[in-house]
């Protein structure tokens, strides 16, 4: 930690800080600068008490940590890319580019199967569909629950697609893990640490969406909860952050792709549907994501978006999805993926 | 709902939208303007399917809801202020101004009791203290758990202060409700709807912190989950939102006070400690909150902030708290409170 | 305009609003809904007084404009893409993809010429370089001024590259226009309307960077100032917006590419250097921008970034630029550009 | 500056950084930590080349400045509060609390004089009114220009109120300074450094509004441009920042009051009208600002807000202003002001 003192601090004030640094088991080194003094406190920041509390001393201007707070998600502990095996057969994070697609919510058998068959035909390998839905208002459709999970199982059986679905309650962890090949943690639960732990403990791959206003560091630390609880099958998913812009529902931060790849060994997935909140932007977003090196896409597809039970405005049609997959092919090739 | 069509839309395209509006059970009224046409769709937006999905029609420019989505938290359904009785004896939302104070985390008996006695002496009526702590990193202190709850009970017994503590897992709802007079829902769980439902069902007053990037409407809707699940004892708590500013940890949005009072009948509490993340700003924040009409304050106080186990930088000392209470008095009086 | 009244508004209150709408020369249509009433006010919002002032009536809940406020930048008035001819020979917005590159600041003849020759060799067609520099602190290097412009002219003469440089004072408009083939308006001046007018009047192409916290609509309206002042040679340039994220200097909003192309006929340029503020992210950003359909890139390149006089952290080396251009080629081809 | 190296950096890589630090005239001190090494570079950061460029070395993780970049606005160089004398008779920053009030735009003689007389009667000492108006759209009313200035002069003569009005073009600096007792720099020009310099050179007090997305440090540095150009009569004005919230037009950051007072000796003024964008929130905002220690308020007042030529929704009526001043009195007293 670097402790910056205010200009004109007396020796006595400096010593008080030095003493507290020693109390907290760091080794202080005083650096006398031209305008002000700085104390470098040597010690492992991840196991010691933070020194950020020293700002309660009026003579302390600022305290700056120097170590990154995450360990297990970090690229340095695992220099190669982690390849996550979904359902023991669909690898994410390797050479092969994967597409997960399906409706925002599972509504009924016909809607789900029609969509599953169509997305499979177009090239998707994983079926998405919400059975438990976190909704901003209690008066909105909350998902079919277990019935939705059973429909997903049926669609999996008929199409061979693996299944990703959202987990939104610790109490459903077992149940959802029974049906799902990937557990999705939604943006509003991205720092619901109890849920992350429950998801981790199922052993299933966990796709962790970035919280609406989560800094990269916080996202990596939330991922750290998964791996630190014994589950290395972690996928990060960027789905748009909240900014001042109102033209789109969220601002898709595609720079998360190279950043996650630099900081972490875990795969990075892009969700352009949530990211834009508008079906007409999905195509361009997908091309950008592929070109920038994303490992997979998560796309909302619905047979009739105008009558979808949730988030219709951002879902694309079955035909639209087929066209999208067609147009993406050359970009996938140029990006060095299959 | 108001459906705005693009300029130069043909009659046929207009009719297709009109037809879909009818399918979705609204009554369409066409308004022909100077540059473009608009369809007003009459129907209860809270019980019908949203028309926002109509943006999937290329001829639709925009869809604008007109009704507010919340009902039970709304000022109009309950024109008088709701006064929440905490522990059957501490009213929040009425004439009497309340102060909740205590350490960020419960660390041990001595730390808690010393603080409890000091804040009580200075005028606080409710003791805060975290037993289960949501922490950004899995390597940070996660709270004493049930032992912390027991210490809170002991402090309550010795001082007569009511107790507020955080609930962060659905699975602890019963347990925490046994010890706490108010259940606090933290900012990272503000849209963890399953937790809100579990908290509501205990019947205890629920203090709902605003999410880091929650719009007022979303916050009210999260509160709606509590009341809609049978618990009218809801308190809103502003604790700073996330912005681009880095000088403070968060940006305390004091305008939430008049806004919540205008939109809702529920009390509004201000947490200046989280809001600023810096002890040296707490005093000014408290004065502003009182002057603007807040119903209560939630303040972090610690006997020795430099060695606090969590969030030391924002906790004030016992002496600092006594001074704060002294300085606040005339502001409370001028604001028409006791 | 749509004027939404509060629930339970009386007929008298409704009539007062209707009367004011008539005073302001709109034609009111009353729509009686299930919970509340709405008045649709017909009239051209761009020439009439706004009705947003009606929110001063306590019975008015909200006023929602329906028309877009921009005209000349709008795709609908010019359905084909505008192709801007830079220096009568370098088209931006057509089939050919263009790259503008060069140092953040012009420092001296050697630095500029070395860079110009290198970027030309690698395939750039336009040279960037700041002569007048807007700096956050008055103590930072403010640019070489006119001497910098002269060096740019020399570099143009020796390499044949067209030149883009920033205009930051109305009083320099004539001077800068003498040397520059494109006038750049920086992010901090994006709503300095007097500067936009002065730039427009020179007749030179104007590259308008998006303001740090500018909504798409505001950016289009700022562009409207240029075209409305007689200069149709307008380029929009996305360079990152300000968000809560601190890992990158700004958040590059690549969704601006499809959005600008949908809303406007003007070309869209991406500046990944400012967007990321980190040289190590520039490559991925460029690939994404190309794939999503950008018309040009604006890239900072310096012979020795570690000793650059401004913004060294985001500038790439001459070798780095050559590699970048090489790697971009297949993406440019796949995106259907040359 | 503190230069943090990546874990596992070799001695050779470390030496390369040390050498570059020496090249840039700093004195390097190597600190060997448990996980990684840090180099403290001693030297005046405000006169030396920044070391932030060192992040172009792949072995450098991060570079952290330790000195604040501003000097003249800083509390430390002028420990007492600066009191700015407006028109040689109205002090801002001292014991006396000041209120500036008037219409958003000067529209005509009657509107201005009526307002001026009313606000004077209610207790304001400075008249605000826009003659040159920066408007988001080129089709909105741009102000009466010089005619507006003349009307302000007339109102000053008749009422004795001092005058504040906005300067938005370098080319008008002389002209506006002739009529205005305070030059206002608007939020969109807060980093238009040429305008700041031109304003500074007139010698008139300069009220610098915070930019829409300006960090505190950037705001202080913009103020530094004014004082560094020979004009110590600087006022900071908080008027709301841009966030994700849409209920209010901006988010008024009242924490700017204690922060500016801690960091700087210059007075701090609050503009609740722009801050909220809604007349119904102005009263509460004013109370908060006074309680938190603001030196003055800047309030928009109009005889008939519904028909105001600009920003009607946020202007209060003459009666509303009189009531506001009445209600503020006890808060001003309690805050220790007159």
Touching D: which chains, 3+ CB pairs < 8 A? A, B, C
* CB < 8 Å to B34, chain C: 42-44
Cα–Cα–Cα angle for A40, A43, A47, nearest 5°? Answer: 135
B34, B42, B244 ranked by CB distance to C44: nearest: B34
B2 touches C: beta carbon within 8 Å? yes
Q: How far is A216 from chain C (nearest CA, A)?
A: 7
Query: Does residue B213 belong to the interface with chain D, where contact is any CB pair within 8 Å?
Result: yes
- Percentage of chain D lying above the pLDDT 90 cut: 82
In this predicted model, what pLDDT tens digit does every residue of C106-151 receive, in sequence order?
999 999 999 999 999 999 999 999 999 999 999 888 999 999 999 9
Residue B190: name the closest of B155, B158, B173, B214 by CA: B214
Q: Please write the tens of the pLDDT for every residue from D271-324.
A: 999 988 889 999 999 999 999 999 999 999 999 998 888 888 899 999 999 999
DSSP secondary structure of D64-108: E--S-S--TTBGGGS-SPP-EEETTTEEESSSS-EEEEE-SB---
- What mean pLDDT do residues D4-33 have? 91
Check if C145 contacts D (Cβ < 8 Å).
Answer: no
- Which residues does chain A have within 8 Å of residue C254's beta carbon, measured at their own beta carbons? 252, 254, 285, 288
* Cβ-based contacts of A33 with chain D (< 8 Å): 42-43, 66-67
d(CA D309, CA D176): 21
Q: Enumerate residues 22 to 41 of chain B having a beta carbon within 8 A of any beta carbon in chain C.
A: 29, 31-36, 38, 40
Q: Mean pLDDT for chain A?
A: 95
Smallest Cβ–Cβ distance between A4 and the set D36, D66, D76 belongs to D66
Give the 3-state secondary structure of residue A257. Answer: helix
Distance from CA of C7 to the nearest CA of B (A): 8
Residue C235, pLDDT score: 98
Chains that touch B (3 or more CB pairs under 8 A): A, C, D
Q: Is C292 on the interface with A (CB under 8 A)?
A: yes
Which residues, given as ranges, of chain A have pLDDT below 50?
none
Please, is A224 exposed, middle or buried when counting C-beta atoms within 10 Å of its C-beta (0-12, 13-18, 19+)?
buried
Q: Is D154 exposed, middle or buried (0-12, 13-18, 19+ CB in 10 A)?
A: middle
Spatial CA neighbour of D250 closest among D220, D271, D225, D228 = D271
C88 vs C69, higher pLDDT: C88
Contact C31 B42 (CB under 8 A): yes
- Residue C255 touches chain A, beta carbons under 8 Å: yes
| C-alpha of A217 from chain center | 11
Q: Is the pLDDT of residue D338 over 80?
A: yes
* Nearest Cα residue in chain B from D212: B244
d(CA B292, CA D29): 51
pLDDT value at residue B56:
86
Kindly identify which residue of chain B lies nearest to residue C249, measuring between CA atoms.
Answer: B244
Q: What is the ipTM of this complex?
A: 0.95
Residue C243 at interface with chain B, using a CB cutoff of 8 Å: yes
Q: B 44-73 residues with CB below 8 A of A?
A: 46-47, 49-50, 52-58, 69-71
- At D46 the pLDDT is 76
| Residue of chain C with shortest Cα separation from D279 | C56
Q: Give the tens place of pLDDT for each residue, C47-61.
A: 778 888 898 888 998
At residue B46, the pLDDT reads 76
Half-sphere exposure of C132 (CA within 13 A, CB side): 22
CB B42 within 8 A of CB C33: yes
Residue B68: predicted pLDDT: 85
**To the nearest 10°, the Cα dihedral for B310, B314, B317, B321?**
-130
Residues of chain A numbered 257-276 and touching chain C (CB < 8 Å): 257-259, 262, 275-276
Each residue's pLDDT tens digit in chain B (338 positions)? 899 999 889 999 999 999 999 999 999 999 888 788 899 999 888 777 888 889 888 899 889 888 888 999 999 889 999 999 999 999 999 999 999 999 999 999 999 999 999 999 999 999 999 999 999 999 888 999 999 999 999 999 999 999 999 999 999 999 999 999 999 999 999 999 999 999 999 999 999 999 999 999 999 999 999 999 999 999 999 999 999 999 999 999 999 999 999 999 999 999 999 988 889 999 999 999 999 999 999 999 999 998 888 888 899 999 999 999 999 999 999 999 98
Q: Is D334 on the interface with B (CB under 8 A)?
A: yes
Contacts with A137 from chain B: Cβ below 8 Å: 46, 69-70, 221, 224
Residue of B255, C308, B126 whose CA lies nearest to D254: B255
Residue in chain D lying closest to C313 (CA)? D53
Tell me what pLDDT residue D50 has. 85
**Residue among B87, B97, B92 at smallest CA distance from B157:** B87
Closest residue on chain A to D61 (Cα): A66
B-D CB pairs within 8 A amount to: 114
Residue D44: its chain A contacts at CB < 8 A? 34-35
CB of D112 within 8 A of CB of D301? no
Confidence band, pLDDT 50/70/90 cuts, at residue C275: confident
Residue D228, pLDDT score: 96
Domains and CATH numbers, chain A: 2-64 (3.30.70.1140), 84-334 (3.20.20.70)
Q: Do C241 and A241 touch (CB under 8 A)?
A: no
Contact between chains at B138 and A221 (C-beta distance less than 8 A): yes
CA pair distance B122, B106, nearest whole angstrom: 20
Q: Residue C161: what pLDDT?
A: 98
Cβ-defined contact of B67 to C36 (cutoff 8 Å): yes
Å from B188 to nearest chain D CA?
Answer: 17
Q: What is the DSSP string of A150-163?
A: HHHHHHHHHH--EE
State which residue of chain C sits closest to D225, comparing Cα positions: C138
Pull the structure tokens for residue A207.
């796709």
CA dihedral for A102, A106, A107, A108, sign (positive or negative): positive
CB B309 within 8 A of CB B105: yes
**Six token digits for residue A331:** 């970009």
Task: List, for residues A54-76, the tens digit of each pLDDT value.
Answer: 988 889 988 988 888 899 999 98
CB A73 within 8 A of CB A277: no
Mean pLDDT of D66-75: 90
- Give residue-wise pLDDT tens across range C284-301: 999 999 999 999 999 999
Give the model's pLDDT for residue C1: 87
pTM (predicted TM-score): 0.95
DSSP letter at B171 equals G
- The whole-number pLDDT of residue C310 equals 86
User: Three-state DSSP class for B257?
Assistant: helix
D281, closest residue in chain B (CA to CA): B258
Instruction: Provide, as residue numbers in chain C, all residues whose Cβ is less than 8 Å from the Cβ of B2.
Output: 2, 38, 40, 64, 66
- Mutation target vs B (from D284, D290, D330; most B CBs, 10 A cutoff): D284
């Amino acid at each position: 930690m670097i402790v910056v003192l205010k200009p004109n601090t007396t020796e006595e004030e400096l010593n008080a800080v030095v003493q507290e640094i020693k109390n907290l088991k760091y080794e202080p080194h005083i650096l006398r600068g031209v305008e002000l003094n700085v104390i470098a406190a040597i010690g492992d920041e991840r196991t010691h008490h933070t020194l950020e509390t020293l700002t309660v001393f009026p003579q302390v201007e600022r305290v700056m940590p120097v170590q990154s707070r995450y360990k297990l998600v970090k690229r340095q502990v695992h220099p190669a890319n982690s390849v996550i095996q979904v359902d023991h057969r669909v690898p994410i994070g390797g050479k092969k580019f994967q597409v997960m697609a399906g409706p925002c919510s599972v509504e009924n058998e016909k809607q789900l199967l029609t969509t599953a068959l169509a997305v499979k035909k177009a090239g998707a390998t994983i079926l998405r569909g919400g059975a438990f839905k976190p909704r901003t208002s209690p008066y909105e459709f909350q998902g079919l629950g277990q019935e939705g999970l059973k429909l997903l199982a049926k669609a999996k059986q008929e199409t061979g697609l693996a299944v990703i679905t959202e987990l939104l309650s610790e109490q459903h962890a077992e149940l959802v893990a029974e049906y799902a090949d990937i557990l999705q943690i939604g943006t509003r639960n991205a720092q619901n640490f109890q849920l992350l732990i429950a998801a981790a403990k199922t052993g299933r791959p966990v796709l962790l969406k970035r919280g609406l206003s989560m800094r990269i560091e916080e996202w990596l630390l939330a991922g750290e909860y998964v791996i630190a609880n014994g589950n290395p099958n972690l996928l990060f998913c960027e789905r748009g952050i909240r900014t001042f812009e109102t033209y789109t529902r969220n601002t898709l931060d595609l720079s998360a792709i190279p950043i996650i790849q630099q900081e972490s060994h875990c795969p990075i997935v892009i969700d352009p549907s949530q990211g834009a909140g508008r079906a007409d932007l999905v195509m361009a977003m997908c091309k950008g994501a592929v070109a920038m090196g994303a490992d997979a896409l998560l796309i909302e597809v619905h047979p009739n978006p105008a009558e979808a039970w949730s988030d219709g405005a951002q879902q694309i049609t079955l035909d639209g999805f087929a066209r999208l997959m067609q147009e993406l092919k050359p970009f996938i090739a140029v990006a060095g993926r299959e």
